[in-house]
């Protein structure tokens, strides 16, 4: 499958392993400066709640999927290395997540200020489902959902 005009090889999406954790932290600018994010990544991998996108043998992105959002699947985090953003990798991870999700509905969220993420949700077929105020000051969290079964 072609995923952009510059390369003809789509990233390979698979479940993350503990061997991937250091690469996942390295591509995540927030994780490099926040120990708690690194711990979250390791715990998600240990719980088998994480998918990675691999290109040419390197991890270029990851996604965390839990099933604790009111008993539904929830994509809590999607991170793509800066060099690989805007190439469709996040969309491929979201599509793969639909198969990994154990529930009929899949939820996710993003800040109102994150227009790129909102556009990604639209491309992936997610619908706006609500707003959560007061998580980040003056930047409400927009909740999205998608029926997958």
Q: Give me the domains of the chain, ranges plus CATH numbers.
A: 12-147 (3.40.630.30)
- Helix axis angle for 115-123 and 89-100, nearest 10°, is 50
d(Cα 140, Cα 9) in Å, to the nearest integer?
37
Q: Considering the entire predicted model, what is its pTM?
A: 0.89
- State pLDDT tens for residues 2-46: 333 343 346 799 999 999 999 999 999 999 999 999 999 999 999
Longest dimension (CA), the chain: 43
Predicted confidence at residue 3, as pLDDT, reads 35
pLDDT reported for residue 149: 82
Q: Is residue 11 a contact partner of residue 1, using CB atoms and an 8 Å limit?
A: no
């Amino acid at each position: 499958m072609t995923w952009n005009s510059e390369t003809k090889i789509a990233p390979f999406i698979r479940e993350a392993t503990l061997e991937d954790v250091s690469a996942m932290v390295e591509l995540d600018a927030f994780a490099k400066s926040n120990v708690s994010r690194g711990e979250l990544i390791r715990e998600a991998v240990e719980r088998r709640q994480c998918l990675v996108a691999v290109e040419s043998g390197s991890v270029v992105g990851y996604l965390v999927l839990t099933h604790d959002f009111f008993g539904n699947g929830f994509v809590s985090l999607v991170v793509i290395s800066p060099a690989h953003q805007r190439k469709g990798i996040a969309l491929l991870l979201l599509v793969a997540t639909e198969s990994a999700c154990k529930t009929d509905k899949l939820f996710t969220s993003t800040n109102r200020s994150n227009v790129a993420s909102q556009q990604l949700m639209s491309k992936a077929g997610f619908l706006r489902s609500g707003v959560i105020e007061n998580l980040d000051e003056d930047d409400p969290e927009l909740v999205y959902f998608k029926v997958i079964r």
